[in-house]
């Protein structure tokens, strides 16, 4: 899978941008705040119909404009795809795949697979469980549309249950219904996450060993209130019932996959609490490159890899690992200088200069 071309109107600091990309390495060079990351953002947006930088779609529309438009022309093994997305300032958006309107975002998810590695990804290791849940949910959703649909339904029921908990007079018969539904959707979500972490472990161990010259072993473990993983639905239902009194007092649902997490262990030690900055960066690098292999295994072809100004923050061995591993993957790199890249580029690579929202090849 690779992007053949991209176009956009009124996206961030771009008035009108049209680029042809090569199937291997594409490098965007420029000073900070010139628009390099905006190009990666618009590519990522076509995978999920959401930005990795903001939750507000209106933020990506150029200042004083009413709408923005994005088009990606993508080569795939089975059938090429053209993704068109129009985003209006009022938050509405229209998505088309090969000129056919998409009625639900779930119909877009998985059409175009992408993995992004940016400095902010260190949050996966260092920050709250919500960051790690979001990572899992995004990665699994682009491989399994049924997971995405179950997640949407789970969050809808969760919101409705929380609304009931906030009522002055609580109808517990409604809570019984919501608990059954949460247990049903939650079972699928937890099972899919466990399967994903198994795959992550399978690929990560060798990758991490290669990067660290065999000095470290990485492992991922799922953290949940559900302990009986042989009967998740019944266990989750019992936990919801047992926590009902507390939920009524707190007016919020305290049990379920929306509270789950996973740990990252380096030689059996928690990377969040005890890992050095270098170890945490290596953990994220491992996660991202394992994600590439999982997508290849499930989808049959590699996704597009986006590297957002990360090379300057890595030491030689980690940088070398990345650049030696992207031969068969379309990779789009942003950086402020090309010195470290020249030995890894060939006549098929493309280099773009970005300045003040203008891109020149």
Tokens 């929380």 correspond to 162
Residue 11's pLDDT is what? 94
User: 321 pLDDT exceeds 90?
Assistant: no
The reported pLDDT for the residue numbered 25 is 92
CA dist., res. 281 & res. 119, Å (int):
9
In a 10 Å sphere around its CB, with 0-12 CB exposed, 13-18 middle and 19+ buried, how is residue 77 labelled?
A: exposed
The confidence score (pLDDT) of residue 318 equals: 84
More confident residue, 313 or 250: 250
User: Mean pLDDT throughout 280-298?
Assistant: 95
Residue 188: which pLDDT band, with cuts at 50, 70 and 90?
Answer: very high
List of E strands, the chain: 2-11, 14-20, 25-29, 67-75, 81-88, 93-97, 100-102, 114-117, 218-223, 261-266, 269-270, 304-308, 331-335, 350-355, 358-360
Of 162-166, 253-257, 263-267, 315-319, minimum mean pLDDT range: 315-319
Question: Coil, strand, or helix at residue 147?
Answer: helix
pLDDT for the residue numbered 255 = 95
Mean pLDDT score, 87-111: 92
Going by DSSP bridges, is the β-strand pair 269-270/331-335 parallel, antiparallel, or unpaired? unpaired
Average pLDDT of the segment spanning 307-317: 84
- The CA-based diameter of the chain, rounded to the nearest angstrom, is 70
pLDDT reported for residue 231: 93
Q: Are 61 and 95 in contact (CB under 8 A)?
A: no
In whole angstroms, give the CA distance from residue 315 to residue 309.
Answer: 13
Helix or strand run (H / E) with residue 148 = helix 145-165
Residue 272 and residue 269: Cα distance in Å, rounded?
A: 9
Tens of pLDDT, residue by residue over 37-66, are 999 999 999 999 999 888 889 899 999 899
Q: What is the mean pLDDT of residues 5-10?
A: 96
Residue 50, CB-side half-sphere exposure with 13 Å CA sphere = 11
Answer yes or no: is pLDDT of 104 > 80: yes
Task: Report pTM.
Answer: 0.93
Residue 71, pLDDT above cutoff 80? yes
**Per-residue confidence band for 338, with pLDDT thresholds at 50, 70 and 90:** confident
What's the pLDDT score for residue 311? 83
């Amino acid at each position: 899978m690779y992007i053949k071309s991209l176009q956009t109107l009124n996206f961030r600091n771009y008035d009108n941008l049209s680029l042809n990309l090569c199937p291997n390495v594409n490098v965007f060079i420029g000073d900070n705040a010139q628009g390099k990351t905006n190009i990666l953002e618009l590519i990522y947006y076509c995978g999920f119909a959401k930005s990795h930088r903001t939750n507000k779609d209106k933020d990506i529309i150029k200042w004083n404009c009413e709408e923005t438009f994005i088009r990606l022309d993508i080569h795939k093994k089975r059938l090429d795809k053209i993704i068109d997305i129009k985003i209006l300032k009022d938050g509405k958006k229209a998505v088309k795949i090969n000129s056919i309107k998409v009625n639900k975002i779930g119909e877009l998810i998985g059409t175009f697979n992408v993995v992004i590695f940016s400095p902010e990804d260190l949050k996966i290791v260092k920050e709250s469980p919500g960051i790690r849940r979001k990572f899992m949910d995004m990665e699994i959703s682009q491989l399994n549309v049924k997971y995405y649909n179950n997640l949407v339904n789970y969050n809808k029921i969760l919101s409705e249950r929380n609304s009931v908990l906030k009522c002055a007079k609580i109808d517990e018969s409604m809570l019984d219904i919501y608990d059954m539904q949460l247990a049903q959707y939650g079972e699928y979500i937890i099972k899919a996450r466990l399967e994903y972490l198994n795959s992550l472990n399978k690929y990560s161990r060798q990758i991490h060993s290669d990067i660290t010259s065999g000095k470290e072993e990485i492992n991922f473990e799922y953290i949940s209130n559900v302990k009986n993983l042989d009967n998740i639905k019944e266990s989750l239902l019992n936990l919801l019932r047992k926590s009902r009194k507390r939920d009524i007092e707190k007016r919020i649902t305290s049990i379920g996959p929306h509270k789950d997490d996973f740990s990252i262990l380096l030689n059996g030690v928690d990377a969040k609490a005890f890992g050095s900055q270098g170890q945490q960066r290596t953990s994220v690098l491992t996660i991202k490159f394992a994600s590439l292999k999982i997508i290849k295994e499930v989808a049959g072809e590699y996704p597009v890899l986006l590297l957002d100004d990360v090379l300057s923050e890595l030491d030689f061995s980690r940088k070398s690992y990345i650049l030696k591993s992207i031969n068969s993957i379309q990779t789009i790199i942003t950086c402020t200088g090309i010195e470290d890249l020249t030995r890894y580029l060939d006549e098929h690579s493309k280099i773009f200069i970005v300045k003040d929202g203008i891109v020149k090849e």
